[in-house]
Amino acid sequence: MVCLLGGVWGAAWAADEKGKATPPPKPSLTVTVTTPQTASLAQKISANGNLAAWQEAIVGAEANGLKITEVRVNVGDRVQRGDVLAVLQADSLRAELAQAEGALAEATASSQEAKSQADRARSLQQQGFFSNAQLSQALAAEASSVARVQSARAMVQLQNVRLAQTQVRAPDAGVISARQATVGSVVGAGTELFRLIRQGRIEWRAEVTAAEIGRIQVGAPVQIKAASGQLLQGKVRMVAPSVDAQTRNALVYVDLPAQTGSARAGMYAQGEIALGQSQALTVPQAAVVVRDGFSYVYTVGADQKVSQLKVQTGRQSAGRVEVVSGLKADARVVASGGAFLNHGDTVRVVDAPAAQAAPAAPATK
């Protein structure tokens, strides 16, 4: 004890008013000290935004003036491409299709007769029994009959298309997000019946400041926490090419996995976009004391007195805190127990590795 205190405080003895020597102040705490360390920390941008459908398809009626007879899906159902979502009344279209098929059969028969007449006219014209004018009439009648067959065939195809349109099918696999179709209602062409989240995919649309856009790279990993508490991992798909003129913020589109658990489109979410690694000056988290909204660390000088330094902190990782400014790299920092210290206190230093800094304890005599 004499050896430890003699070298440190021996020079601090002073004479009082009566000429008597007074001992130096006793240490208030026993502390361990550490020096700031340079570490590689992840750079991240925190952002807020909404979850939204990656792409939302609108499924409408193509046939006009038909009544809905059956609705086969509801909101939340998963469907595959080509699945029937609703059925429209098809009686009148079936009748029109039968009429078109009859007209095609009649046109085909007429065409065959016209072809036979044209063949006969060619033969007779070669024998000299038909004039050129009569042959031309026969050939024109044949060509006209062929055109009528093509027109009738096209009408049959049209009626088949209209009949197929009575079954409203999913344009892609996905999840039904909205339904307006009601059994018994008569719909017109283009009437919206369903909304479909394509492939069931949702994305996070994060708002970032204009200053942060250039730091974000496509493909950067993102960690998101939805309002439901669901944690999601995603990747940056695209950064918006423009900035909103009102908010001066830009959107970052983040792809999310197909299975998102309790996360739903329309939810608010918070997240962090990773930017890579960078070197930083760090101290143990226990070395930082927060008072009145400001961060402080305590350093120990050669006279074993502590000094309170106001610092600016940054990132945190593995129990260490980045010190952005206010601290020198060679400072002796109190590793823990700073909450019990005040500026100018005398402490006793116990040598210990910084990584194993022990909590502060009252000094012993």
Show me where the domains of the chain are located: 25-41+278-362, 45-55+200-277, 57-86+167-199, 90-165
- Kindly state the helix (H) or strand (E) to which residue 341 belongs, with its residue range: none
Q: Which fold has domain 90-165?
A: Helix Hairpins (1.10.287)
**Residues comprising the chain, all counted:** 365
- CB distance 168 to 187 below 8 Å: no
pLDDT attached to residue 258: 77
For residue 149, what are its two tokens?
């067959």
CATH placement of domain 57-86+167-199: 2.40.50.100
Q: Can you tell me the distance from the alpha carbon of 296 to that of 289, in angstroms, rounded to the nearest whole number?
A: 5
pLDDT attached to residue 32: 84
pLDDT attached to residue 11: 40
Q: In a 10 Å sphere around its CB, with 0-12 CB exposed, 13-18 middle and 19+ buried, how is residue 16 labelled?
A: exposed
Q: In a 10 Å sphere around its CB, with 0-12 CB exposed, 13-18 middle and 19+ buried, how is residue 38 labelled?
A: exposed
DSSP string, 190-243: T-EEEEEEETT-EEEEEEEEGGGGGG--TT-EEEEEETTS-EEEEEEEEE-SS-
User: Can 25-41+278-362 and 57-86+167-199 be said to share one CATH topology?
Assistant: no
pLDDT attached to residue 345: 81
Amino acid at 245: A
- CB distance 220 to 204 below 8 Å: no
Q: Could you give the maximum distance between any two Cα atoms of the chain, in Å?
A: 160
What is 45-55+200-277's CATH number, 2.60.120.340, 2.40.30.170, 3.40.309.10, 3.50.50.60? 2.40.30.170
Q: pTM of the full predicted structure?
A: 0.62
Cα separations (Å) of 182 from 69, 192, 286, 325?
9, 11, 63, 65
What string of pLDDT tens digits covers the 365 residues of the chain?
333 333 333 444 444 444 555 556 666 678 888 888 888 888 888 999 999 999 999 999 998 889 999 999 999 899 999 999 999 999 888 898 999 999 999 888 888 888 887 777 777 777 766 677 777 777 788 888 888 889 999 999 999 999 999 999 999 999 999 999 999 999 998 899 999 999 888 999 999 998 888 889 999 999 999 988 889 999 999 999 999 889 889 999 999 987 777 888 889 999 999 888 888 888 888 888 888 888 998 888 888 888 888 888 888 877 888 888 888 888 888 888 777 888 888 888 876 554 444 344 444 33
pLDDT attached to residue 8: 37
Q: Can you tell me the distance from the alpha carbon of 4 to that of 348, in angstroms, rounded to the nearest whole number?
A: 10
For residue 265, what are its two tokens?
């489109």
The three-class DSSP label of residue 361 is strand
pLDDT attached to residue 13: 41
For residue 88, what are its two tokens?
């429209």
DSSP string, 281-315: EEEEGGG-EEETTEEEEEEE-TTSBEEEEEEEEEE
Domain 25-41+278-362 has what CATH class?
Answer: mainly beta
